[in-house]
Homo-oligomer: A and B are copies of this chain.
């Protein structure tokens, strides 16, 4: 199997889905001739032409609103919002239309669009280029919110997102775009949405994370093992909404000690929902309060300070040890 970066793996998913199904079209700012500012759509316009790989004017609500129309007609638009920090312009179209047209038309019109956007910090970028606001989309009934954590699952999840009959927000951890390579099969591979994964088994405590935070979380788990002899179970959420809480609950019941890790601001963030689910379904198994290792309730600082904002291995290890000490 070839080793690929996440950018290459996403590109593979797009290319193969476009080959398989001519109703798949790609659109967004700079996705065509430029191949996307991160090169995720590189080469697609050469292969599929500008009728299927569409450079749009600079208008995010327009991109999503137009994608809704395309999807209603029967196409499968995969639109790119250049950075998730500009995706808020699309909230109206997503919440008031994409999420509801199936419901409003009582089943007649689905909206099988995918809205891709790079999210998160860690790449020394400008303001608005490092945010993590997946909560906005996760809270909307009718939307699916997916965040991969590595090249292989990014590819397999994007394939499923494209095939999904409902609107999917697909946030790509830009810090992982080129951070490492993984073997990714050339042949078709899809992974079901709304399923979480056990990324590492363990019995002493549970660490729940997703996206770019999977790496420090797994590293922290290794460190907990090597330095402290602790076996952390690590769960990769993959889909935030509709959330599959079965693994989270099972793991919490097993370990009784849980920390949630995300770079989004803490208050009203994904960690809160995870805690609520655990309280609802595993309360009597929890030995200690679930910990939140998260971004702070401030705007992520400009890049000279962003590592202080982002949860890193030391904070995760520390939280885990406190859970065990309690």
A289 to B281 CA separation, bound complex (whole angstroms): 8
Task: Name the B residues within 8 Å of A127 (CB-CB).
Answer: 104
Cβ of A243 under 8 Å from chain B: yes
Task: Name the B residues within 8 Å of A52 (CB-CB).
Answer: none
Q: A133-141, A171-179, A181-189, A195-203: which lies at the B interface?
A: A133-141
Cβ of A276 under 8 Å from chain B: yes
Contact with B along A140-156 (1 / 0, CB 8 A): 11100000000000000
A242 to B265 CA separation, bound complex (whole angstroms): 12
Q: Are A268 and B279 neighbours in the complex by a CB distance under 8 Å?
A: no
Q: Are B273 and A268 neighbours in the complex by a CB distance under 8 Å?
A: yes
Q: Are B139 and A299 neighbours in the complex by a CB distance under 8 Å?
A: no
Quote the shortest CB–CB distance from A53 to chain B (angstroms): 26
Determine how many copies of this chain the complex contains: 2
A178 to B271 CA separation, bound complex (whole angstroms): 37
Q: A19-27, A90-98, A226-234: which lies at the B interface?
A: A90-98
Q: Are B99 and A299 neighbours in the complex by a CB distance under 8 Å?
A: yes
Q: Which of B139, B265, B283 interacts with A289 by CB under 8 Å?
A: B283
Q: Which of B96, B140, B267, B279 interacts with A139 by CB under 8 Å?
A: B267
Quote the shortest CB–CB distance from A58 to chain B (angstroms): 13
Q: Are A135 and B276 neighbours in the complex by a CB distance under 8 Å?
A: no
Task: Name the B residues within 8 Å of A180 (CB-CB).
Answer: none
Q: Are B133 and A135 neighbours in the complex by a CB distance under 8 Å?
A: no
Q: Are B289 and A280 neighbours in the complex by a CB distance under 8 Å?
A: yes
A207 to B142 CA separation, bound complex (whole angstroms): 29
Cβ of A89 under 8 Å from chain B: yes
A29 to B165 CA separation, bound complex (whole angstroms): 37
A243 to B297 CA separation, bound complex (whole angstroms): 11
Cβ of A122 under 8 Å from chain B: no
Contact with B along A75-105 (1 / 0, CB 8 A): 0000000000110110110011001100110
Quote the shortest CB–CB distance from A221 to chain B (angstroms): 22
Cβ of A292 under 8 Å from chain B: yes
Which 8 A-B residue pairs are closest in the complex by CB-CB distance?
A272-B272, A139-B268, A283-B289, A272-B276, A88-B92, A88-B91, A275-B276, A272-B273
Interface residues of chain A, those whose CB is within 8 Å of chain B, are: 85-86, 88-89, 91-92, 95-96, 99-100, 103-104, 127-128, 133, 135-136, 138-142, 241-243, 264-265, 267-273, 275-276, 279-280, 283, 286, 288-290, 292, 296-299
Contacts beyond the supplied A85-B96, A268-B273, A283-B286: 10 A-B pairs with Cβ under 8 Å:
A89-B92, A91-B91, A103-B298, A136-B136, A138-B267, A140-B265, A241-B267, A268-B270, A275-B279, A276-B276
In the complex, 6 of the A-B residue pairs with CB atoms within 8 angstroms, ordered by the A residue number, are A85-B96, A88-B92, A95-B133, A242-B297, A275-B279, A279-B289
